[in-house]
Amino acid sequence: MTTAGAPPQAFHAHVPGSKSLTNRALLLAAAAGGSSVLAAPLVSEDTTAFRAALAQLGCRIVSLADGSGWQVDGLGRGPKGAGRIWCADAGTAARFLPPLAATGHGDFVFEGSAQLTARPLAPLADALRRLGARVHTAGGGTLPLRVEAAGLDGGGLEVDGGLSSQFLSGLLMAGPLLRTPLLIRVRDLVSRPYVDMTLALMRHFGAEVSEDAPGEFAVRPTGYRATGLRIEPDASTASYFFAAAAVTGSAVTVAGLGRDSLQGDVRFVDVLERAGALVRRGSESTTVTGTGALRGGFTVDMGEISDTFMTLAAIAPLADAPITVRGIAHARLKESDRIEAVARNLRAAGVRTETGRDRITVHPGETSAARIACHRDHRIAMAFSVLNLRTQNLTLDDPGCVAKTFPGFHAELHRLFPRHPLQ
Ligand SMILES: O=C(O)C1=C[C@@H](OP(=O)(O)O)[C@@H](O)[C@H](O)C1
Ligand SMILES: C=C(OP(=O)(O)O)C(=O)O
């Protein structure tokens, strides 16, 4: 809490690069003809897995000697060869790389962790088959997924976007490498801002893609052009630091993340504003200043920014009235069933919650001491670490799982708020 009259303590959080931008840029640079440089990419388990997978697909990626980024020597086409490609826990790898592989020539088998294997993939496999690709999956349409690639023609395609937007993003990004134009109509699309990010990055790498009517996309078979890209800080990761400002009554600025960000999750600050925090949206930075008190008593649809719903739900017990988040059914299909995982952990800490298929309501209340079950989900670990800045009675059963997107999370939160234990 702020001391009356005293200015809030002000911090700059060092937030690493966006996972979604890094992995898209890696793929597009790998598909482009020529060398691309990615500045300030995220280095974490998800991007390391993605980079290694592209290397297995034949692409040369080197870290620049001064540590400023990566140089990607693009293939200028789809991959050629054969191999087993490890996707680890990365949804982006499992959903973006098979369409790329299908545009090449060879025999590729995509595999992943048990957690990733449990996540849906069938709409993507079906879409690739309808384009004429030879694709085999495990029963239920999951990983391992094998592509016997012989190049692909385009054509017209309907895709179900109700479980994940990543299927559509993966297909769109493969589009310029097809032999003929690709037309995709998407139904029930969740997480729309990620598709806008896909379109923006495709265009940055020289693709011609248009949305001719809402949900109807046309991609021309132009290939990609090598270019440079500076990766913005990750907006989902920034949410933990902005929420920390809100609940501790301090000010946190994230430089490099401005109001024109390509990342939808930058809109998490709108939700904090609704809960009483002061937000300054600059062109090059965002600052949240908290009061230490949270205003509740509202319902918010976070379907487009669902990676940040847990950040809000975890701090919601500190509010003065219940908070309901809705529109997040697809959050049950991520690293964990995130609605259940948040609700169970809050209940274990004595907080009243109610859940429905696509929603959660969190009531105000004191937390009792609890061990938080992370379910190997980085966002559970990071979200509950923010709540613990206030309650100081929670421990994480798996603090290391933050490495999926931010290996240095605990060190950075501790640097700003020493009461956060280094772990
Ligand atoms: O395209 C992307 O980079 C992502 C899309 C979102 O997934 P869904 O489309 O499955 O909601 C998001 O949750 C994920 O962290 C990253
Ligand atoms: C859902 C997530 O990751 P992905 O789908 O990329 O594995 C996430 O980072 O919260």
310 in a structural domain: yes
Whether the pLDDT of residue 6 is over 80: the answer is no
Is 307 a residue of the active site?
yes
| Number of domains within the chain | 2
The fraction of the chain above a pLDDT of 70, given in percent, is: 99
The DSSP string of 337-365 is -HHHHHHHHHHHTT--EEEETTEEEE---
Indicate whether residue 334 lines ligand 2 (CB < 6 A).
Answer: yes
Do 369 and 300 fall into the same domain? yes
Predicted interface score ipTM higher than 0.85: yes
The residue annotated as part of the active site, out of 126, 234, 265, 307, is: 307
Residues spanned by the domain of 152? 19-222
Q: Is there a single domain that holds both residue 255 and residue 214? A: no
pLDDT the model gives residue 317: 98
Predicted confidence at residue 423, as pLDDT, reads 84
For residue 405, which of 96, 121, 89 has the smallest C-alpha distance?
A: 89
If you measure from the C-alpha of residue 9 to the centroid of ligand 2, how many angstroms do you get, rounded to a whole number? 32
Q: Is 80 annotated as a binding residue?
A: no
Q: Please, which pLDDT band fits residue 5 given cuts at 50, 70 and 90? A: low
Residue 47 near ligand 2, beta carbon < 6 Å: no
In a domain, 227, yes or no: no
- Give a yes or no: residue 11 inside a domain: no
Q: Is residue 13 domain-resident?
A: no
Residue 213 shares a structural domain with residue 239: no
Residue 374 is part of a domain; what is its CATH number?
3.65.10.10
User: Quick check: 250 and 12 in contact, CB under 8 A?
Assistant: no
The whole-number pLDDT of residue 171 equals: 98
Q: Quick check: 344 pLDDT over 80?
A: yes
The 10s digit of each residue's pLDDT in 67-102 is 999 999 999 999 999 999 999 999 999 999 999 999
What is the mean predicted confidence (pLDDT) over 188-204? 98
What number does the ligand 2 atom closest to the CA of 307 have? 10
| pLDDT tens per residue, range 285-342 | 999 999 989 999 999 999 999 999 999 999 999 999 999 999 999 999 999 999 999 9
What does the alpha-carbon distance between residue 182 and residue 99 come to, in Å, rounded to a whole number? 13
Q: pLDDT tens for residues 221-256? A: 999 999 999 999 999 999 999 999 999 999 999 999
pLDDT at position 351: 98
Q: Is 194 in the pocket of ligand 1 (CB under 6 A)?
A: yes
Point out the ligand nearest to the CA of residue 87.
2
- For ligand 2, atom 7, name the residue with the nearest CA: 91
Residue 54 covered by a domain: yes
pLDDT greater than 50 at residue 189: yes
Give the residue whose CA is nearest to atom 5 of ligand 2.
Answer: 91
234 CB less than 6 Å from ligand 2? no
